[in-house]
Amino acid sequence: MASTPKHDYYKTLGVERGAEEDDIRKAYRKLARKYHPDLNPGDKAAEDRFKKVTEAYDVLSDESKKKVYDQFGFYSDNIPPNGAQPGAGSSSGPNFEGFDFAEFLRQQQQHQRGGPPPPFEEERGGGGFRDIFGQFFGRNSSRQAVHPERGADLEYGLNVDFWQSIKGTQVKLSISRQETCEVCHGSGSSGNHVAVCPECDGSGTVTQMAGAMKFNLTCNRCNGTGRLKNACPNCRGEGRLSRPDSVEVRIPQGVASGSRLRVAGKGNAGTAGGPSGDLYITVRVEDHPFFERDGDNIVIQIPLTISEAGLGAKIEVPTIDGRALLKIPQGTQSGQKFRLREKGVFNGRKNTRGDEIVEVFLKAPDVHDERTRELLRELAQIQTDDVRSDIWSKVQPAA
């Protein structure tokens, strides 16, 4: 018999040990309906119950997981579910009956708390958690053969100002990327050197979570010794080293905020001769006080005087190329938009330019002299049309 499990999944589901698959499923459905977060909004206790029930069902509904759980009173995804097959080592395998799991974990934790890591190459009396399963499941605890793997891609954010985005630019980025170790040329091994294990940082143990439980496991990489034999001392057996690097990046003309640029081969170096990853640069364009981008178009708001709007005028407006002339027709209203063709942003993919959209608004004159006042009074006497008549005719509620 296994020791009393910390989480009794059978109890959680309210079924007997050895219950049929069907009964387990029925029990789960009933409880899941009862404790489902959607039906118990804001109820933390129900949510916890739901999680426990789901965890229990996850294990008990899976034949191979259930097998492990029934034997050890415990299941973790870190244990290969198909590992308990005969043929790994002796045909019967070690006998785990009567093994006190709780006691074992306690010992492990005490070991963790007390004292420094064991010296190099010391055989551990208790053996690690993983070692036990390793023996039982026939897992090879020595490091697996290294296969060439592509290096990871790197992501970078880059701010450019408005003009850099319009005209394009060249920037030098300082990044940190993993490069192939020049001492071992990426193999990670070198003569008879001993390096501190990078996986566990020399402690010999790594922490893993299994559900709500936390376990200190013997480091698989160094078998709990905290040291790696024959490991390159320069890269501690990693084959790669993090290094600052500078990368020249050409920011294309007309780049939009949020664009992602790829610099091939400038990600992390691959392992065991695998290719490097790529570097991705996400561009953020800083705002301009007046020019605004709308795709390839530039939008700008331009004030007009009352006389310009009323009489019509030719005014100068700013564009990204400099000043341009814009004809304002007689009787222009606030909010009207004018288009300056091909005064927008260059689009390299389409090989076209956007437009500039000029949106005008009326600016009332500053009145601080008697002459202006006189003229405006005169204007008011002539212009007697009610500019709000259209609104008045439409705001009345239907009779």
Beta-strand relationship, 213-218 and 260-263:
unpaired
Residue choice 31, 154, 160, 181 for contact with Zn ion (CB under 5 A)? 181
Does position 79 interact with Zn ion (CB under 5 A)? The reply is no
Measured CA distances, 381 to 244, 281, 374, 375, 384 (Å): 75, 63, 11, 10, 6
Give the nearer residue to Zn ion in terms of CB position, either 199 or 355. Answer: 199
Residue choice 219, 279, 345, 358 for contact with Zn ion (CB under 5 A)? 219
Does position 234 interact with Zn ion (CB under 5 A)? The reply is yes
Give the nearer residue to Zn ion in terms of CB position, either 228 or 263. Answer: 228
Site string for Zn ion, 188-207 (x = CB under 5 A): ---------x-xx-------
Note whether 69 and 75 are within 8 A (CB): yes
Residue choice 7, 221, 266, 343 for contact with Zn ion (CB under 5 A)? 221
Give the nearer residue to Zn ion in terms of CB position, either 196 or 324. Answer: 196
Does position 343 interact with Zn ion (CB under 5 A)? The reply is no
Shortest reach from residue 129's CB to Zn ion, in Å: 14
- Among residues 193, 277, 192, the alpha carbon closest in space to that of 240 is found at 277
Give the nearer residue to Zn ion in terms of CB position, either 149 or 374. Answer: 149
Does position 269 interact with Zn ion (CB under 5 A)? The reply is no
Tokens of 362: 């009326």
- Among residues 231, 236, 135, 218, the alpha carbon closest in space to that of 178 is found at 236
* Stretch binding Zn ion (CB under 5 A), from 234-242, 274-282, 304-312, 369-377: 234-242
* Stretch binding Zn ion (CB under 5 A), from 13-21, 144-152, 175-183, 325-333: 175-183
Shortest reach from residue 199's CB to Zn ion, in Å: 4
Shortest reach from residue 83's CB to Zn ion, in Å: 22
Tokens of 118: 């064991």
- Among residues 55, 225, 195, the alpha carbon closest in space to that of 187 is found at 195
Residue choice 184, 217, 328, 358 for contact with Zn ion (CB under 5 A)? 184
Q: What is the DSSP string of 142-167?
A: SPPPPPPBPPPPEEEEEEE-HHHHHH
Half-sphere exposure of residue 59, counting CA atoms within 13 Å on the CB side?
26
Q: What is the dihedral of CA 196, 201, 203, 204, to 10 degrees?
A: -70
305 Cβ contact list (under 8 Å, min separation 6): 362, 363, 365
Shortest reach from residue 33's CB to Zn ion, in Å: 46
Q: Which residues pair with 352 in a beta bridge?
A: 347
Give the nearer residue to Zn ion in terms of CB position, either 234 or 259. Answer: 234
Contact residues toward Zn ion (CB under 5 A) are 181, 183-184, 197, 199-200, 219, 221-222, 232, 234-235
